[in-house]
Structures are given as structure tokens and as C-alpha cells.
Structure 1
Amino acid sequence: MSLASSSAATEGASAPRRRRGARRAVTRTEELRLQIADDIVRGRLAPGTALEEVDIAKRYGVSRTPVREAIRDLAASGLVEARPHRSALVAQPSLERLRGMFDVMAELEALCAGLSAANMTPTERAHLQAIHAELADLTRRGDQGGYTVLNERFHTTLYAGAHNDYLSELTLATRARLQPFRRAQFRNLGRLALSYQEHDRVVSAILRGDKAEAATAMRAHINTVEVAYERYAESV
């Protein structure tokens, strides 16, 4: 079992105890990465802006170590252009590249969902249902932050449920590159409720063991995420 699958299994076993504290588990580097990514996606850090470590550390009130790590991670998302021996620059993936990344993400997640329908154990299915139920509660309360965090666990649970370590690794790596853009979609009015409805179709198919429908529903979900992000990007 890979580290990704092992971690997901452990998470499943301890979910009831950890769920309320999930947002506190985010590391300082990850939190900083998300803050910088958010400012880039919102246009607060314009393309071409030099990301000087000292300036960024002052701006966000942190030391230079998490800044260095966050910039390295952001380079993998295409939001930052790393330059040897020089300050990194704010970049912006072309629309064509983003669409290509979303196309790959849709196929990877569709494959995970289909395999989850065929391979998930009863315990894993129960865990998926529990996460889905909590997402429903977060949707009713309009808790965008909580939904965003738990949404990632929802998808990770499906990656693990496919029981294919290599597929899980590829999907997690691709999600990391697209994470800032996927998170931005939730700023669209009504997006939480629509996301939950899309998840519901995926979960229903998995619980029925319908491999083809689970894959189709997930592919449609990721394609809708792409459209939602593009709509958000046009509005900022």
C-alpha cells in the first residue's frame, strides 16, 4: 500500500475525531501557499510581479522558510515562474494549458470514481457517505471554507477507494497543480449547492456499484469545475 493510500485509510479510521479540527491541521507552508495563490488568482499579485522572499515574508507575517517552500510548490501549479538564482515571478498559465490540465484531471478522477464503484470496501463506502453527509451540512450553512477543506478529503477518499496506488499518485499530483483554480470556483454564487449535487450523483453511482455511471458523473463534475473557474476568472 502506498503512502497516499495508507494515509487515506488512517484518515478514514480517525475521521469522527478529526473532522472538526481538519482546518487546523493545515501546515503554515500550505496555508501561505493558499494565501499567495488566492492573491494571484484574484489579481492582487499581478503577472510579472517579482516574489522577493523578504517582501513576501513581511506581507504575510511569516519567516522566509515557509515562503521559499510555498513558492516552490506554487511553481508546480504554474502560478509562479521559478528562475535560478533570481526571484520567482508571478505567472499565469494560458487558458489553453489550463484547459488541458482540467481535461487530464477529469479523466483521472473519472477513472478513480469508476474503480471506486467496483473496488470500495463496505467500510470505505460508509466513510464516503459520512463525508458526503457532512458536506451537505456545510452546504446548508454556507460554510465555504469548511466545504473547500472537506471537498479535498471527499476526492482523496475516491482516489484511495480505487485501490490503485499509481493512479492515486498521479491524480493527487495533478490535483496539486490545479488546486488554486479548483478552490476559486467556490466564489461563484450558488456553487456550493451545485457542487454537492454533482457529488451526490457520483456517490449514488458508487453505492450502486455502477462503474460506468460513476465515471460519467465524475467527469461531468470536473468539467463543470473548469467552467465555474473560467466564469470566476472573467469576473475578477
Structure 2
Amino acid sequence: MNWLVDFFGDPANWSGPDGIPVRLTEHLQFSTVALLLAMLVALPLGLWIGHTGRGALLVVLSANAARALPTLGLLVLVVLLAGLSTDLPVLIPLVALAVPPILVNTYEGVRGVDPDLRDAAYGMGLRGGQVLGRVLVPVALPLILLGLRLAAIQVVATATVAAFVGLGGLGRYVVDGFATNDYPRTLGGAVLVALLALLVQLVFVLIQRLLVSPGVRRRNAVR
């Protein structure tokens, strides 16, 4: 506890290029851009595969790849190939980490919709895209948001590896603290990452309450 007081109570840690606000902003930038890029790839693909049933093998391969992905190794490889002139080295492994949970949960959410709802929608004269947008996505939204939440938490936690190759973010406190035996700094950085992950979790809980209809929430609760 004294280490945390030492870290958070030191005014030097709240100002300058190595201050908490700057490192937090860098961390959020890495995480937000990576999550948005992953969403651009995985959401349309998951919706299309879930709706058409084509390409399901890609979902299985994606899920297996997520378990085997060596994030730090991939980061080092990208740095060796692309250098450190941009944020690209940290974004590539973070996007690769975030795509599988979004893709898998989006696919499972759409495929898991009751077939009777699909048939009823088609019977009302809706076409493929209308069925997907008006019926399947609203019902699948809890699983889709779950995939986004898992991806966001993984990205926030894993973005700390950016510091291992000289980039910024909250991981700087952890890496630099270990390098200099500054344990209050190391612990403070770890606590900041954990708190940010908890905040992300809370934000997605609130988003789910706002976007998921009460009927769908009650239906999932009954299950």
C-alpha cells in the first residue's frame, strides 16, 4: 500500500511527458485505434458468415489462432520489419488479438437466433439485408457486445507490451520500473492498467443496458 501512495502521491508522476495523463492518453490511443480496426474487419465478416453460413471454417481458425498468438513475439517481429517510425508495430498484434473474439461472438450471435424468427421475417416480406439488420442483429446484440467487450479488455491489458519495444503507454511504468528496481512505479503501472480494464468493463455493461432491448434481455435471462 505504501508503494501505491509513493507512486500516486508523487506530483512528478502527474506532469511532463512521462506523467500519468500522457501515458494514459497514449495507452488509450493504441487501444482505441486497434479496437476500431478490429471491428472494421471482424464485425462485417462475422455478420456475413453468420447470416449466410459460408466461411464458417474461418471462424474456427480464428478462434484457434487467438489461443496460439504470441503477442510479444509478433510485436518484436513487426518492429524488426517495420521499425519504430510509427505506431504500426503495436497496432498489428493488438488488432490480431482483437479480431477473433469479435468475429466468433458476432458469428455465434447471428447463427444462434431462433430459426422461427428468421422464417417469420422472411414471411413478412423482408429481404436478406433487412432480416439481418432488423431481426438478427438486435437479437444477437448481447453476444456481439460480449465479443467487443472481451476484445477491448484484452487489448487494454496487452497494450502494455508496447513499452517492451520503446513505445509509450502505461506499460512504460511497468517496464521502466522493473529495469530500475523502482517497485512503486511498477506496481502503480500495473494498478493503472487493471483499473482501466475495469473501467472498460463498466463502459460495456452500460452500453449493453442502453442498446439491448428489454425484451432481448429478458429472453436471455430466461435462458
- TM-score of the superposed pair, with normalisation by structure 1: 0.31
More helix by share: 2
Which structure has the bigger radius of gyration? Answer: 2
Q: Which has the higher strand share?
A: 1
